[in-house]
Amino acid sequence: MKKTYKIDVDCANCANLMEDAAKKTAGVKDCTVSFMTLKMKVEFEEGADAAAVMKDVYANCKKVEEDCEIYL
């Protein structure tokens, strides 16, 4: 399953840090973050609970970029 989320991030480097953090989160198969469109596209692993995984993604992204927001 794939979902797209609106994000708020300050710079392209921060977007890259968020992308890397999301990709390392359990339950995420793949992730791309676009600074230009302010969107995060997440592909979840089969059988993963998207809402629960996104809470972990959000927590991991906050660790690397505390000013970021993901609108769940």
* All structural domains of the chain: 2-71 (3.30.70.100)
Q: Quote the pLDDT of residue 9.
A: 94
Mind listing the pLDDT tens digit for each residue in 23-50? 999 999 999 999 999 999 999 999 999 9
The pTM (predicted TM-score) of the whole model is 0.94
Mind listing the pLDDT tens digit for each residue in 44-64? 999 999 999 999 999 999 999
Which band of pLDDT confidence, cut at 50, 70 and 90, is reported for residue 1? very high
Q: Which two tokens stand for residue 26?
A: 């359990």
Query: For the chain, how are helix, strand and coil distributed in percent, rounded to 5?
Result: 40, 30, 30
Specify which residues 71 forms β-bridges with: 6
